[in-house]
Amino acid sequence: MIMDITSPFSKSQLIPQEEKLEIRKKRGQLFIGIPKEDFKIEKRICLTPESVSMLVKAGHKILIEAGAGKEASYDDKKYSEAGATITHDKEKVFGCPIVLKVEPPTLDEIKLMKPKTYLFSALQLKTQQKDYFEALQKKKITALCYEFIKDRYGAYPFLDAISQIAGIASIQIASEYMCSMNGGKGLLFGNVTGVPPTEVVILGAGLVAESAIRTALALGVNVKVFDNNIHKLKRLQKTLPSQVFTSTIQERVLTKSLMRCDVAIGAVKGYNRSPILVSEEMVQRMKPGSVIIDVCIDNGGCFETSEVTTHERPTITKYGVIHYGVPNITAKYSKTASLAISNILSPYLLDLSENGSIDDAISYDTTIRSGIYIYKGILVNEAIGKWFNLNFKDLNLILM
Which residue ranges make up each domain of the chain? 31-155+333-399, 159-327
Residue 192 is predicted with a pLDDT of: 87
- DSSP strand pairing (378-379 vs 199-203): unpaired
> Which pLDDT does position 137 carry in this prediction?
97
Ordered per-residue pLDDT tens for the chain, 400 residues: 444 444 444 444 555 555 544 444 556 789 999 999 998 889 999 999 999 999 999 999 999 999 999 999 999 999 999 999 999 999 999 999 999 999 999 999 999 999 999 999 998 877 789 999 999 999 999 999 998 999 888 889 998 999 999 999 999 999 999 987 777 788 888 888 889 899 999 999 999 999 999 999 999 999 999 999 999 999 999 999 888 999 999 999 999 999 999 999 999 976 557 889 999 999 999 999 999 999 988 888 899 999 989 888 999 999 999 999 998 899 899 999 999 999 999 999 988 877 667 888 888 888 999 999 999 999 999 989 998 999 999 998 888 7
- Picking from 376, 360, 364, 363, the residue whose alpha carbon sits closest to that of residue 26 is 360
Please give the torsion angle defined by the CA atoms of residues 289, 290, 291 and 292, in that order, rounded to the nearest 10 degrees.
Answer: -130
Domains 31-155+333-399 and 159-327 share a fold: yes
Please report, for residues 121, 153, 393, the alpha-carbon distance to residue 144 in angstroms, rounded to integers and kept in the order given: 7, 19, 16
Coil, strand, or helix at residue 216? helix
Choose the CATH number for 159-327 among 3.50.50.60, 3.40.640.10, 3.40.367.20, 3.40.50.720: 3.40.50.720
Rounded to whole angstroms, the Cα distance separating 101 from 249 reads: 38
At the fourth CATH level, the homologous superfamily of domain 31-155+333-399 is NAD(P)-binding Rossmann-like Domain (3.40.50.720)
Residue 163 region by backbone torsions, left for phi larger than 0, else alpha for psi between -120 and 50, else beta = alpha
Q: Where are the alpha helices (DSSP H) in 150-296?
A: 157-178, 207-218, 230-239, 251-260, 280-284
- Residue 270 Cα distances to 11, 374, 386, angstroms: 69, 22, 16
Please give the helix or strand (H or E) that residue 292 lies within, else none. strand 291-294
